[in-house]
């Protein structure tokens, strides 16, 4: 019922198209933001836009993080990422994140930007493509999944930033995304969460089999399992957080990114190099 690897070129094209569609919705919503919008109002807009586009349930519901919340401050718990009545202010950093399911294809995407001009955000943003390249390189070098997570943690600390993805649910640097091969139970959801996909993910996490999570724990001691991995390094400093999230393909041909023409790639191309 749930397919995790061995995807055909046609299936990969569907994943690519749905990932682009998800980013388009996040980016269009970002362009419409205005001072005073709340996280809750923005996630409602996201849900309506995804519903109109054909995604009626989620692996995780849309998230909007404004200002200091983008940096997962202090003992920020994984469920504290759910939308609040925090209103958008000038110079806030914003993270919009959603994991919609289109016709059985799960994608997970994140769009970070600054509602103004923040040098701290720019400093973090310059490091994200570096991490993107390193993660792909380390997988292709055959490094253990766990070791890559530790390497990312070390790199973030060495360049003077805080690792926020250790505060994600499951402490994930990334997680697998899937295709539901049959429509049975496809429409079942609980508060927007797709029961079929979420139940499979929880069962695999708790009861064995190749881990669907990519983190620093002993469950990730082996090499990267074949599949599609939504990779989401999340960095912060001084109350400003930024991340990207997109799909990395891992198969018999090694590791490669599903797409190289996404909003954050175009944003990074315009960044001035670090001094």
pLDDT in tens, 22-64: 999 999 999 999 999 999 999 999 999 999 999 999 999 999 9
Give the separation between CA 86 and CA 100, rounded to whole angstroms.
Answer: 23
Contacts of 165 (CB under 8 A, 6+ apart): 171, 172, 173, 232, 233, 234, 243
Average pLDDT of the residues in 167-191: 84
Give the separation between CA 6 and CA 19, rounded to whole angstroms.
Answer: 18
Choose among 102, 86, 91, 120: nearest CA to 235: 120
| Domains located in the chain, CATH noted | 2-269 (3.90.230.10)
241-250 pLDDT per residue, tens: 999 999 999 9
With a cut of 70, say whether residue 168 has pLDDT above it: yes
Residue 203 near residue 69 (C-beta atoms within 8 A): no
Task: Tell me which residue has tokens 């849309």.
Answer: 62
Please, which residues bridge with residue 105 across strands? Answer: 102, 179
Supply the pLDDT for residue 275.
45
Choose among 269, 158, 161, 168: nearest CA to 216: 168
DSSP designation for 88: P
- What tokens appear for 197 in the block? 């996909």
pTM beyond 0.85: yes
Average pLDDT of the residues in 142-156: 97
- Report the length, in residues, of the chain: 275
* 41-55, 125-139, 204-218, 253-267: least confident range: 204-218
Per-residue b or e along 153-171, where b marks 16 or more CB atoms closer than 10 Å to that residue's CB: bebbeebebbbbbbbbebb
9-19 pLDDT per residue, tens: 999 999 999 99
Give the separation between CA 9 and CA 16, rounded to whole angstroms.
Answer: 10
């Amino acid at each position: 019922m749930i397919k995790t690897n061995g995807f055909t070129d046609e299936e990969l094209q569907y994943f690519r198209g749905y990932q682009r569609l998800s980013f388009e919705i996040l980016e269009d919503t970002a362009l419409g933001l205005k001072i005073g919008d709340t996280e809750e109002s923005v996630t409602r807009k996201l849900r309506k836009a995804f519903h109109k586009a054909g995604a009626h349930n989620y692996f995780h519901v849309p998230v909007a993080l404004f200002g200091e919340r983008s940096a997962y401050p202090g003992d920020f718990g994984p469920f504290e990422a759910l939308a609040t009545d925090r209103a958008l202010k000038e110079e806030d950093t914003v993270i919009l994140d959603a994991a919609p399911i289109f016709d059985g294809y799960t994608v997970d995407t994140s769009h970070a930007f600054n509602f103004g001009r923040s040098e701290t955000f720019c400093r973090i943003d310059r490091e994200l493509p570096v991490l993107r390249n390193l993660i792909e390189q380390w997988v292709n070098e055959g490094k253990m999944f766990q070791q890559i997570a530790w390497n990312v943690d070390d790199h973030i600390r060495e360049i003077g930033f805080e690792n926020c993805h250790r505060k994600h649910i499951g402490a994930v640097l990334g997680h697998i995304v899937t295709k539901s091969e049959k429509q049975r139970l496809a429409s079942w959801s609980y508060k927007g969460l797709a029961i079929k996909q979420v139940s499979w993910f929880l069962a695999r996490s708790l009861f064995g089999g190749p881990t669907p999570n990519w983190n620093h724990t002993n469950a990730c001691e082996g090499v990267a399992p074949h599949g599609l991995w939504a990779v989401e390094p999340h960095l912060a400093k001084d109350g400003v957080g930024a991340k990207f999230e997109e799909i990395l393909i891992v198969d018999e041909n090694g590791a490669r990114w599903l797409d190289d023409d996404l909003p954050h790639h175009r944003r990074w191309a315009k960044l001035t190099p670090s001094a």
